Amino acid sequence: MDLNLDAPHSMGTTIIGVTYNGGVVLGADSRTSTGMYVANRASDKITQLTDNVYVCRSGSAADSQVVSDYVRYFLHQHTIQLGQPATVKVSANLIRMLAYNNKNMLQTGLIVGGWDKYEGGKIYGVPLGGTVVEQPFAIGGSGSSYLYGFFDQAWKENMTKEEAEQLVVKAVSLAIARDGASGGVVRTVIINSEGVTRNFYPGDKLQLWHEELEPQNSLLDILNAAGPEPMAI
């Protein structure tokens, strides 16, 4: 079994961005793989660009980190010059400029989501190749293949914040169940006019799907169990 530890760090990934009435919810799994080895089982794939705009990263870890670092820097300058928070459309366009003009050298798919006072909550998908497309919801990464049908059925307009977050968590959890390159925990970020809320759903607390079993004799339980009571005289 060749683990190929020299393979570039890639994020197998499932990333999702969903709009609801009042803002957006971004969600992602947390697995970063190098070949067949999980290099980081608790990575944070939803990175901040500005106070009100976040981006979900997928594909090559190095490429996506560098692109988001550059765009964060440009947006910081832009915010200073503009004198007010940057819009989601501008952030998505900056991401797109880097992705399109360097399309031969980059291998990263991104989902930009945020809230601004002009357009409200918006999601922009920037897949491989560098197109930018505004969508009411976007999915990306290797695990997204398993979610197209699910979203066709489950997505509806004008959900509430709770409904949207539950949808995202359910979707990432379904993708984790079927995609080997996705796993770990589910992280969500909710962005609306009030601000940003980060949530965390550990992998073992997610709902069990078809043919998934309850943990039995789990090492986690054994290790975390209290020791035997000392003898009382």
Partner 1 sequence: MDLLKVNWGRRKHSLFYYLFLASKQLFPLDLYLFSPNPFRFDQPSSSSRLFDFGRMSQAGVDVPAKGGFSFDLCKRNDMLIQKGLKAPSFLKTGTTIVGLIFKDGVILGADTRATEGPIVADKNCEKIHYMAPNIYCCGAGTAADTEAVTDMVSSQLRLHRYQTGRDSRVITALTLLKKHLFSYQGHVSAALVLGGVDITGPHLHTIYPHGSTDTLPFATMGSGSLAAMSVFEAKYKEGLTRDEGIKLVAEAICSGIFNDLGSGSNVDICVITKGHKEYLRNYMEPNPRTYVSSKGYSFTKKTEVLRTKITPLMERVEITEVGEAMEE
The one-letter code for the residue type at 229 is E
Instruction: Report the residue from 78, 79, 120, 150 that binds partner 1 according to the rule CB under 8 A.
Output: 78
**Closest-CA residue to 25 (of 196, 206, 205):** 196
H/E stretch holding 101 reads helix 88-101
Least separation in angstroms between CB 215 and partner 1:
16
| DSSP label of 132 | -
What pairs with residue 108 in β-bridges? 59
| Contact call for residues 41 and 176 (beta carbons, < 8 A) | no
CA distance linking residue 151 with residue 25, whole number of Å: 14
- Residue closer to partner 1, measured from CB, 225 or 231: 225
Does the annotation mark 13 as catalytic? yes
Q: Is the dihedral of CA 198, 108, 158, 120 positive or negative?
A: positive
Burial of residue 88, with CB atoms counted within 10 A of its CB: 0-12 exposed, 13-18 middle, 19 or more buried: buried
- Decide if 12 contacts 140 (C-beta within 8 A): no
Count, in order, helices (H) and strands (E) of the chain.
5, 13
Examine residue 115 and tell whether it contacts partner 1 (CB under 8 A).
Answer: no
Instruction: State the binding string over 126-165 for partner 1 (x if CB under 8 A, else -).
Output: ----------------------------------------
Among 24, 25, 49, 61, binds partner 1 (CB under 8 A): 61
200 binds partner 1 (CB under 8 A): no
CB under 8 A: which stretch of 62-70, 138-146, 179-187, 188-196 binds partner 1? 62-70
State the binding string over 12-51 for partner 1 (x if CB under 8 A, else -): --------------------x-x--x-xx-xx--------
> Of 4, 103, 209, 212, which lies in the binding site for partner 1, with binding defined by CB under 8 A?
103
Q: Which residues contact partner 1 (rule: CB under 8 A)? A: 3, 5-6, 8-9, 32, 34, 37, 39-40, 42-43, 60-62, 65-66, 69-70, 73-74, 77-78, 81, 93-94, 97-98, 101-105, 219, 223
Active site residues: 13
